[in-house]
Chain A
Amino acid sequence: MTRETALNLALALALPAFVASAYVAEEPFLITLATRAAILALAATGLNLALGFGGLVSFGHAAFFGIGGYATGILASHAQDYTPLMESPFLIEGTQAMLIHWPVGMIAAGCAALVIGALSLRTSGVYFIMITLAFAQMFYYFAISWPAYGGEDGLPLYLRSSFPGMNTLQPLPFFTLVFVVLILAIGFCGMLSASRFGLALHGARQTPARLVAAGIGPFGVRMTAFVISAMLTALAGSLFADLNRFVSPSMMSWHLSGELIVLVILGGVGRLFGPLAGAMLYVAIEHVAGGLTDHWQFFVGLLLLAVVLFARGGLIGLLAGERGHV
């Protein structure tokens, strides 16, 4: 077992261990906190696929997070109001089922990523960052000005969406569900990274000219990664809506896009468990320092500076050393 594998295992066990002790200590709030970390980790795992593997610094992933959130919010709000979503040409009813919310949000985000990618992936560097940001802002303002689903005030949900065989309103089952989804997503990304497509994607980041010489167009590879990345982040958004039982345009704000980038950098860009490490660290700082001062973001900034200056591989790089081949 390499050092990174051991570290990954420890990271994967840390959150459930924390939750188990919170459960024993009867501190449901701490379970919810851990759930929040896991959901942010899932969103950042999605981003890491584009940013870490593909070198695509998207500053617009909040849009996908929000699309996932609104998919849950809209479908659930129709279910709780007993109003159909649409009556003609055919009837669509709302639903509380997560197993419907997730694919709807993911497909919607995937379609949005296709459009955003078609325009942004032809550019690179600062232009790419700006175009993804611009699109996310468009979604943000659209959500604000859409009164049917709460507009600026957002959309409260009375219940948590349902999952077969589970009481999702209880903190522990909901955490378990979120955590299993997270681990599956990380495993999926690990499989992708080691696949043919993963090799091509890592290649598109490292030396696109070499990829071209191999007969592989970088655009298609990047686009595919961008779409999958958006879908994973949308899944996180959907769970986030259920966690808070509330959806609002702030899920799509550029602050969130930035936060996700920070998580990835803190944990280690392109490291499989980097987003999880980053999210746990971030939520821990938010909780501990946030209890002391309103300006807790200052400490995140300080830490980010330290990582960028002294530990380019983030937390994982610091603890497990240089990344293996890819």
Chain B
Amino acid sequence: MSEPVLKAGGLVKSFGAVVATDSVSLTLNDGEIHALIGPNGAGKSTLIKQITGELTQDSGSIEFAGKPLDGLTPQARARAGLGRSFQVSALMPEMSALQNVVLAAMVKEGGPYRFFRPVLAPGPLRDVAEAALDRVGLSTRAGARVAHLSHGERRQVEIAAALALGPRALLLDEPMAGMDPEGAARLTTLLEGLRHEAPILLVEHDMDAVFRLADRISVLVAGRIIAQGHPDEIRRDPAVRAAYLGDAP
């Protein structure tokens, strides 16, 4: 098997007395969806943020596409191909859906330091953005201002923006949170097809989606990974059932 795209080793991060990440190691391989599940406050978002560079780990290392990420700014990590979505939608509220996605496509298409041509003029930049919106099924709402979009539509814009970056890997923090069942099902189908373009590290509470999508699952509880493996193993794992899944599936 080839080298993993993303490799985190021995990550530790504490906030005062709270150890939010407690020697976590995980990998993300080409073509896979790796789900990260765990109860509220387990440290899932904190882990994602260390990979994106928003937070700096106390110790441990992260490698992406064969290179260490240490010392790289979050924007440099994004340029290297780390696409991400935020747990709480973080879009440009006064911009249209299309403008939000165009912004994400810019770096690949020559960068933001161009001062003369209208950004929405026809051309490759706009094409990339429209294609990304189309993939998430939002082309009809391209011109709508984000502030006027529904919650579910905003989640779709987030995914479209992550796609427009031309990512080498995707970090999705609860992309289905707050979506209606229909939207969640549509997104599940989209992610299913996406894994071969860019592997996905998926934080998600929607267990239907997780068990349908994941090739591997890591279970995080109180900052530690208590189990890691194939979905069937995770489903049967008694520690996982006790800590998180309850007696459900």
Contacts and interface: CB of A to CB of B under 8 A. Distances in A.
User: What band does the interface of chain A fall in when counting residues whose beta carbon is under 8 Å from B?
Assistant: 20 to 34
A105 interface: no
A255 interface: no
B209 interface: no
B113 A214 contact: no
Contacts of B103: 199-200, 203, 210-211, 214, 216
Contacts of A211: 75, 103
Interface in B129-174: 145, 161-162, 165
Interface in B50-102: 52, 54, 73-76, 78-79, 83-84, 86, 90-96, 99-100, 102
A215 B96 contact: no
Interface stretch (B34-42, B115-123, B196-204, B239-247): B115-123
A17 interface: no
Contact of B119 (A196, A209, A214, A220): A196
Contacts of B76: 215
B112 interface: yes
A212 interface: yes
User: What band does the interface of chain B fall in when counting residues whose beta carbon is under 8 Å from A?
Assistant: 35 or more
B93 A200 contact: no
Given A210-B100, A213-B161, A217-B73, A200 B84 contact: no
A269 to B, nearest CB: 12
Interface in A246-280: none
16 contacts: A194-B120, A196-B115, A196-B125, A197-B114, A200-B103, A200-B112, A203-B103, A206-B94, A206-B95, A209-B90, A212-B75, A213-B86, A214-B75, A215-B75, A216-B106, A216-B112
A224 B99 contact: no
A207 interface: yes
B175 to A, nearest CB: 14
Contacts of A202: 92, 94-95
A9 B103 CA distance: 30
Contact of A207 (B83, B90, B120): B90
Contacts of A224: 113
Interface in A174-206: 191-192, 194-200, 202-203, 206
Contacts of B128: none
A215 B84 CA distance: 11
A196 B100 contact: no
B104 interface: yes
Nearest to B95: A325
A325 B125 CA distance: 18
A192 B112 CA distance: 11
Contacts of B79: 215
A323 interface: yes
Given A209-B86, A215-B78, A191 B115 contact: yes
A194 B119 contact: yes
Contacts, number: 113
Given A195-B116, A209-B86, A214 B107 contact: yes
A197 B102 CA distance: 12
Given A199-B102, A217-B73, A217-B75, 15 more contacts: A191-B115, A195-B116, A196-B114, A197-B112, A199-B99, A199-B119, A206-B92, A206-B93, A206-B94, A210-B92, A212-B73, A213-B74, A214-B104, A216-B106, A326-B94
Contacts of A195: 114-119
B110 to A, nearest CB: 8
A207 B114 contact: no
B149 to A, nearest CB: 12
A32 to B, nearest CB: 34
A326 B95 contact: yes
Contacts of A213: 52, 74, 78, 83-84, 86, 90, 104, 161-162, 165
Contact of A325 (B52, B78, B99, B107): B99
B115 A207 contact: no
B78 A212 contact: yes
A207 B93 CA distance: 8
A304 interface: no
Contacts of B161: 210, 213-214
A117 to B, nearest CB: 16
Interface in A290-326: 323, 325-326
Contacts of A192: 115
Contacts of B94: 202, 206, 323, 325-326
Q: Which 4 A-B pairs have the closest CB atoms?
A: A215-B78, A215-B107, A215-B79, A200-B112
Nearest to A198: B119
A325 B104 CA distance: 17
Given A214-B165, A215-B78, A196 B106 contact: yes
B95 A196 contact: no
B100 A197 contact: no
Nearest to A208: B90
A195 B125 CA distance: 12
A196 B113 contact: yes
A29 to B, nearest CB: 39
A1 B94 CA distance: 21
A221 interface: yes
Nearest to A195: B115
